[in-house]
Each structure stands twice: as C-alpha cells, then as structure tokens.
Amino acid sequence: MPHPTSPTTAVSARALRVDYSGVLALDGVDVDVPAGALTVIVGPNGAGKSTLLEVLAGARDAASGTVEVDRRTRAFVPQRAAVPEHLPLTVREVVSVGAWGRTGVWRLFTPADRRIVEDAMERLAISTLARSPFGALSGGQRQRALLAQGLARRADILLLDEPTTGLDTDSAARNREAIAHELRRGATVVCVSHDERLIATADHLVGLRDGRVTPLAAAMR
C-alpha cells in the first residue's frame, strides 16, 4: 500500500534487495525521487537499472526493503523488447490501454478520454498508424506506441525504460520532447537511459553498478 512521502519527494525507496536465483540484482539500494523533476538512472549493462525501475513502478516486488509513494498515480513504460511483438491489438488499442488506468476497464470512454488518446498518438507522430496491428510496426514505432500509452495514462509519475534507445534521430528527439512536455505538465519522470542528451537535461542522476548505488563517475565508466 502507498505511504505518505514528503511533498518534494515522489518516491522514496530504502534498502531494496532483489534476488534472481541467488544472484543479487539490487543490494541495499536507497533512492529518493524528487517530485516534478527528471531523474535518470545510469550505469553499465547488468547494473540493475531496469530492475530498480520496475520496483519503483510497482511492477516487481523486492525481496526486502520498502518503497513509499504518496497518492500519485504511476505509469510504467518498459523497453519494447519486453512486450510481445505479435500483441493482437491495433496501435490505437495499445495506446488506449494507458487510459484504462484513469477510466477503469469497464467504463465507456468519453470524448475527452478519446481526445487524450488521440493527443498522445499525435505527439509521438503515430496517428497515421492508429489502425495498424502493433506487431506490424518497426521497433522504433513500437517504442513510440508504448510511450504514447504511458502518456495517455496522464499519470503523476512516469517511469520509462530506455525511451530513446535504438531509435532514429527524429524518433529519439520526439520522445525527448514528449518527456519534456510531461515535465512541463508537472509530472515526475524517471528514466533508465544511456542517452547523453537526456542525461544532460536531468535534474537528478542515480548511478548504479553491480546492484548498488555508486558515484556517477563509476556508474558512467
């Protein structure tokens, strides 16, 4: 259950430990995510970055430790590789899933709900693909559809796993602008990223190496 946090802290985690069959993915991690800011989690491959993001998002349970979140809503956007390529949905249906968190699965969409979905697709330049099967998209288009799904949630906290990795220059720039838009809206954004441009705009950086928080110089080697 969420717990109260400071008005200036959106998520607070203490002593997080995650064990994969005897291998520690996170080992005593403490993190505070400032509200209304961009936090980027950096570190080498295998450092535990995606695992930390999943725990902060509530998508994975830690073996021990605590995550405190106030009543803010969260939206988690995984890497496209974590989503089945042949998901039997159209692009519009994939994006609409994000709005279910606000409306509930069984409530009919209002015109305002549909506008939010259309706006999210327009911002990621995938409106022309709305009727296309998700599985027919290129890797970059799938990543943009997943990000649009997160935007449609209109969540207070947006957690993104590698939102620009593997994208062409234009698509990566569009995703960075979508993140900037969410920040202007007042959302808190947490990203795992190796994108130097995204890292350069971060308000807060968290370095990870071997499942532990580490100085940035060590995490970015």
CATH of residue 13's domain is: 3.40.50.300
The residues, ordered by sequence, that sit 6+ positions from 2 with a Cβ below 8 Å of its Cβ are: 68, 69, 70, 71
Q: Is residue 175 situated within a structural domain?
A: no
The residue whose two tokens read 């970055």 is: 49
Q: Is residue 28 situated within a structural domain?
A: yes
Q: Is residue 26 situated within a structural domain?
A: yes
The total of structural domains in the chain comes to 1
Which percentage of the chain shows pLDDT scores above 90? 69
Q: Is residue 95 situated within a structural domain?
A: no
Residue 30: the pLDDT is 97
Q: Which helix (H) or strand (E) holds 68?
A: strand 64-69
44, two tokens: 């080498």
Q: Is residue 116 situated within a structural domain?
A: no
Kindly list the strands in the beta sheet with 74-77, ordered across the sheet, starting from the edge strand earlier in the chain: 74-77, 157-161, 188-192, 38-42, 204-209, 212-213
Backbone angles phi, psi at 38, to 5 degrees: -100, 115
Output the CA angle 48-185-118, nearest 5 degrees: 90
Helix (H, G, I), strand (E, B) or coil at 190: strand
Cβ distance 55 to 13 under 8 Å?
yes
Integer Cα distance of 60 and 42 in angstroms: 19
Structure confidence by residue, pLDDT tens digits, 134-181: 888 888 888 899 999 999 999 999 999 999 988 889 989 999 999 999
Q: How confident is the model at residue 1 (pLDDT cuts 50, 70, 90)?
A: very low
Structure confidence by residue, pLDDT tens digits, 12-39: 999 999 998 888 999 999 999 999 999 9
Q: Is residue 133 situated within a structural domain?
A: no
- Domain range spanning residue 17? 7-72+193-216
List, in sequence order, the alpha helices (H) in 42-104.
49-57, 91-103
Structure confidence by residue, pLDDT tens digits, 67-108: 999 778 999 999 865 566 667 889 999 999 888 766 555 566
Q: Is residue 202 situated within a structural domain?
A: yes
Hey, how many other C-beta atoms are within 10 angstroms of the C-beta on 49? 28
Q: Which helix (H) or strand (E) holds 173?
A: helix 169-185
Residue 104: the pLDDT is 56
Q: Is residue 107 situated within a structural domain?
A: no
